[in-house]
């Protein structure tokens, strides 16, 4: 045991820290040192049942709590997260490998925004409207099971929990067992601000046990899940047993289309920006722009810029100064990414930068070399499957229609990018992409705009007004 190891031995159910019905625990591994940084309870179906019953018992009272009161609780949670930003960012950087300076802005800053935005919506959203002779009422759906991933752990928790509670729902959260420490800190904050018992409940454990029990539980009205497409399919199948509402935010294989009208400076900017967008959080980003589509006659130009940009990225300890990329979150993820790099080599893609093995001098920690492939064809595995690591595929195209066809030629549709000398031209091509979000000429991420996918990237939208509406049922009163 290290001096920094934290052992969480209780779950948070019905406003109190309680022991799990199981004595089994799960080790949380530090991505930098490969040592154990924490242990958490391995929850059971019985724990889920207790949490769901608590949430169901609390629902009516919370749904009828004045919206101003709900907003106050959410604001207090956001403020408390801000007060513990350094502690939370440190934990998440150990869990996921993201550079600490970036964790503060992204991994904690975005969740604070979600709680504050949800608070504003709780107060100001129009829950009723008149349509002809009908009063249309939007009401909270009920008990929401929130199942969240490890790559942006608190961000994805906030996207569900904050907006569900703003809508008047009660929640049961299962965080990823790979990155759960931030969820326990959030539960501690929620306990401290005095949120009514049962409104928020935390059950940690494995997805095959806890997530499965949540998805099957008859008193759960909705499941909001973020994770792999494979696991999302299982959540949907299990939820169908009781006709639950299911919201899914799944994988991505997003295309970044660089159009032929870019001049040399514009093309160089677009390529360099695209490498950064592919490698954010060491590529552990579902919306990462992992396929760069370039005109065939500019392939060599793209290779040179992308290769130099990748080679210039500093990989290392996420707590050290000047670091761009830290390790991946787990040994399993590192090995998975190495397998895809080998697959790219085996299938004949041109290795421009990076490759197999760890960066020099980084033998401890789950590090991967930032890797760029070129000459990738649409049918190659690395052009079709989500890798979830710092691996960029550059694909040549011949015409604009060809580029759109290639961009849309995957089962996913989460994000994308288009670059052009003309904003109008870029926007026109962006409208042809079958995907939930598109960056136009490097447009910045908007945490209050709807986020979600087409096709096998998911169902539903998160954040802002669309985020609260996901957790509402619609009733018509015919007057």
CA dist., res. 435 & res. 241, Å (int): 29
Torsion over CA: 26, 31, 35, 36 (sign): negative
From 95, 146, 169, 286, active-site residue: 286
CA dist., res. 49 & res. 32, Å (int): 36
> Which structure tokens are listed for 447?
């945490």
Identify whether 249 is a catalytic site residue.
yes
Q: Are 77 and 192 in contact (CB under 8 A)?
A: no
> Using CA atoms in the order 258, 262, 266, 269, what is the torsion angle rounded to 10 degrees?
20
> Which structure tokens are listed for 243?
């006709």
Longest dimension (CA), the chain: 73
Q: Are 175 and 148 in contact (CB under 8 A)?
A: yes
From 249, 386, 462, 470, active-site residue: 249
CA dist., res. 56 & res. 142, Å (int): 7
Closest CA to 430 of 421, 419, 444, 422: 419
CA dist., res. 11 & res. 47, Å (int): 8
- Tell me the CA distances in angstroms from 292 to 19, 255, 271, 295, 397, one per residue in order: 49, 6, 8, 10, 10
Identify whether 169 is a catalytic site residue.
no
Q: Compute the half-sphere exposure of residue 372: CA atoms within 13 Å on the CB side of its CA.
A: 28
Kindly give the pairing relationship between strand 412-413 and strand 454-455: antiparallel
Give the neighbor-by-neighbor strand order of the sheet with 472-478: 128-131, 134-140, 472-478
Question: Which residue is listed with tokens 């009161």?
Answer: 69
Active site residues: 249, 286
């Amino acid at each position: 045991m290290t001096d920094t190891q934290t052992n969480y031995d209780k779950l948070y159910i019905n406003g109190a820290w309680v022991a799990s019905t199981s004595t089994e625990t799960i080790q949380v591994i530090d991505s930098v040192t490969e040592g154990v940084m924490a242990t958490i309870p391995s929850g059971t179906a019985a724990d889920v049942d207790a949490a769901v019953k608590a949430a169901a018992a609390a629902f009516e009272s919370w749904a009828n709590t004045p919206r101003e009161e709900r907003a106050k609780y959410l604001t207090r949670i956001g403020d408390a997260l801000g007060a513990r930003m350094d502690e939370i960012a440190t934990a998440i950087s150990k869990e996921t490998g993201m550079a600490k300076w970036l964790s503060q802005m992204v991994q904690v800053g975005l969740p604070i925004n979600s709680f504050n935005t949800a608070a504003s919506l709780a107060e100001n959203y129009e829950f009723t409207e008149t349509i002809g002779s009908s009063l249309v009422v939007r009401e909270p759906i009920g008990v929401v099971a929130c199942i969240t991933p490890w790559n942006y752990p608190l961000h994805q928790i906030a996207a569900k929990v904050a907006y569900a509670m703003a809508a008047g729902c009660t929640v049961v959260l299962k965080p990823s067992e790979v990155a759960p420490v931030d969820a326990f800190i959030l539960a501690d904050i929620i306990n401290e601000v005095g949120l009514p018992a049962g409104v928020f409940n935390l059950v940690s454990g494995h997805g095959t046990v806890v997530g499965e029990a949540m998805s099957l539980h008859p008193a759960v009205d909705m499941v909001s899940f973020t994770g792999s497409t494979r696991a999302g399919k299982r959540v949907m199948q299990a939820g169908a047993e009781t006709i639950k509402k299911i919201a899914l935010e799944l994988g991505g294989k997003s295309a970044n289309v660089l159009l032929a009208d870019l001049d040399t400076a514009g093309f160089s900017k677009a390529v360099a920006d695209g490498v950064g967008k592919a490698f954010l959080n060491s590529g552990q980003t579902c919306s990462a722009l992992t396929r760069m589509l370039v005109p065939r006659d500019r392939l060599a130009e793209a290779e040179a810029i992308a290769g130099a940009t990748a080679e210039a990225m500093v990989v290392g300890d996420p707590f050290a100064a000047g670091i761009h990329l830290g390790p991946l979150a787990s040994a399993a993820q590192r090995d998975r990414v190495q397998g895809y790099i080998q697959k790219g080599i085996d299938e004949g893609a041109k290795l421009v930068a990076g490759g197999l093995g760890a960066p020099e001098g980084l033998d401890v920690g789950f590090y991967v070399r930032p890797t760029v492939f070129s000459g990738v064809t649409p049918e190659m595995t690395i052009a079709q499957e989500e890798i979830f690591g710092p691996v960029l595929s550059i694909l040549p195209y011949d015409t604009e229609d060809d580029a759109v066809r290639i961009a849309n030629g995957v089962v996913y549709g989460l994000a994308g990018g288009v670059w052009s000398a003309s904003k109008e031209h870029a926007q026109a091509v962006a409208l042809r992409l079958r995907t939930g979000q598109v960056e136009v000429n490097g447009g910045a991420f908007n945490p209050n705009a709807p986020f979600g996918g087409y096709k096998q990237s998911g169902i539903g939208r998160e954040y802002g007004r669309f985020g609260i509406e996901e957790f509402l049922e619609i009733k018509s009163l015919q007057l």
